[in-house]
C-alpha cells in the first residue's frame, strides 16, 4: 500500500514537472462554455470587421497612388485573415448538421492523405515522418463526407507537425462489427504530451504550438464533429513506447 502511494506521488511529481500524461479526454462542460463564448464573440466581431473590409475594398477600387494601394491591400488582407478565423469560430460554435452518407473509406483516405502530406511538404520544405496507412479493403462509414475528411486531415496535420518530434505515424481505421462502430486511431512515436498541454488540448486558440497539437481550431473541430456523429475521442499515452495515440470511436449505424 505504501509502495502504491509512493508511486502515485512520484507520478504526480512527474506530471507537475512536465512529463508525459497517461490519457486525456475532452471536458464537455468546459467546451460547452467555450462554444457559448465563441458564438457571441464571433457575431460581435464579424459586424465591425465587415465594415472595415468593405471600406478598405471601396477605397482600394478608387485609389491610384501605388503606395496607398499597397497599404489598403495590407489592411484588406489582414481583415480577410480575421474573417477566416471568425469563420472557424462560428464553425466551432454552430456547425451545420451532418449530411450523413455511406463513405467508401478505402477510396477516400488515400486521396486525402496525398493531399494533406503534399500541402505539408510544400509548407515546411522538410522530410515528413514516415506515414503508414492500415485500412480494410472494403469499409463503408456512415458520416458527413466533408466533416469526416476534416477530422482525418486535422489529426494527420497534428501528428506530422515537426514539433511532435515523431519519426513515424500510423493511421489505422478498422471495423468493430460487434459494436456497430468504426475505430479510428492516429498513433505517433513523438515526445508525447505534458500535463499542461493535455489540459488545454481541445481549447480553441491554445498557444502551445511547441506541442504541435491544439493550436487554433484543429482538435476542437475534431471533437465537435465526432460529438455530432455521437462518437467519442480520447488521447492516450503509448505506455512503454514514445508518443501518443488519438482514438476515435465512430458509430456506424
Q: Model pTM greater than 0.85?
A: no
Question: For 21-40, how does the pLDDT look when each residue is reduced to its tens digit (9 = 90+)?
Answer: 566 666 667 667 777 777 77
Domains of the chain: 98-251 (3.30.565.10)
CA distance linking residue 51 with residue 64, whole number of Å: 22
Residue 4 has pLDDT above 80, yes or no: no
Distance of CA 115 to the CA centre of its chain: 16
Helix, strand, or coil here: 27? coil
Spatial separation of the C-alpha atoms in residues 159 and 168, rounded to whole Å? 9
How far apart CA 214 and CA 201 sit, in angstroms, is: 5
CA–CA separation, 225 and 202 (whole Å)? 13
Least confident of 81-90, 133-142, 156-165: 81-90
Q: What sign does the CA torsion over 164, 117, 152, 98 have?
A: positive
Counting beta carbons within 10 angstroms of the beta carbon of residue 56, is it exposed (0 to 12), middle (13 to 18) or buried (19 or more)?
buried
d(CA 223, CA 233): 7
Tally of CB atoms within 10 A around 22: 12
pLDDT at 117: 93
Q: Which three cell numbers stand for residue 37?
A: 463564448
Cell numbers placing 160? 506530422
139 C-beta neighbours (distance < 10 Å), count: 17
Whether the Cβ atoms of residue 152 and residue 115 lie closer than 8 Å to each other? no
Between 10 and 143, residue with greater pLDDT: 143
> Is pLDDT above 70 for 205?
no
pLDDT tens string 107-119: 999 999 999 999 8
CA 58 to chain centre: 36
User: Which one, of 191, 202, 210, lies nearest residue 235 by Cα?
Assistant: 202
Q: What's the pLDDT at 191?
A: 86
Amino acid at each position: 500500500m505504501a509502495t502504491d502511494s509512493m508511486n502515485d506521488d512520484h507520478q504526480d511529481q512527474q506530471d507537475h514537472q512536465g512529463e508525459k500524461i497517461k490519457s486525456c479526454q475532452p471536458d464537455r462542460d468546459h467546451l460547452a462554455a467555450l462554444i457559448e463564448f465563441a458564438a457571441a464573440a464571433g457575431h460581435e466581431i464579424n459586424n465591425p470587421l465587415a465594415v472595415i473590409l468593405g471600406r478598405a475594398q471601396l477605397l482600394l477600387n478608387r485609389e491610384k497612388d501605388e503606395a496607398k494601394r499597397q497599404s489598403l491591400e495590407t489592411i484588406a488582407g489582414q481583415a480577410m485573415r480575421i474573417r477566416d478565423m471568425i469563420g472557424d469560430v462560428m464553425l466551432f460554435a454552430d456547425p451545420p448538421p451532418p449530411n450523413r452518407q455511406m463513405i467508401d473509406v478505402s477510396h477516400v483516405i488515400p486521396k486525402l492523405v496525398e493531399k494533406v502530406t503534399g500541402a505539408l511538404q510544400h509548407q515546411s520544405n522538410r522530410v515528413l515522418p514516415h506515414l503508414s496507412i492500415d485500412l480494410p479493403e472494403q469499409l463503408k462509414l456512415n458520416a458527413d463526407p466533408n466533416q469526416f475528411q476534416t477530422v482525418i486531415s486535422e489529426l494527420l496535420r497534428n501528428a506530422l507537425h515537426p514539433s511532435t518530434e515523431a519519426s513515424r505515424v500510423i493511421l489505422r481505421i478498422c471495423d468493430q462489427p460487434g459494436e456497430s462502430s468504426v475505430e479510428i486511431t492516429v498513433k505517433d512515436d513523438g515526445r508525447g504530451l505534458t500535463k499542461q498541454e493535455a489540459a488545454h488540448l481541445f481549447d480553441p486558440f491554445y498557444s502551445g504550438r511547441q506541442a504541435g497539437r491544439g493550436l487554433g481550431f484543429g482538435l476542437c473541430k475534431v471533437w465537435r464533429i465526432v460529438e455530432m456523429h455521437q462518437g467519442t475521442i480520447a488521447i492516450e499515452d503509448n505506455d512503454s513506447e514514445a508518443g501518443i495515440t488519438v482514438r476515435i470511436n465512430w458509430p456506424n449505424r
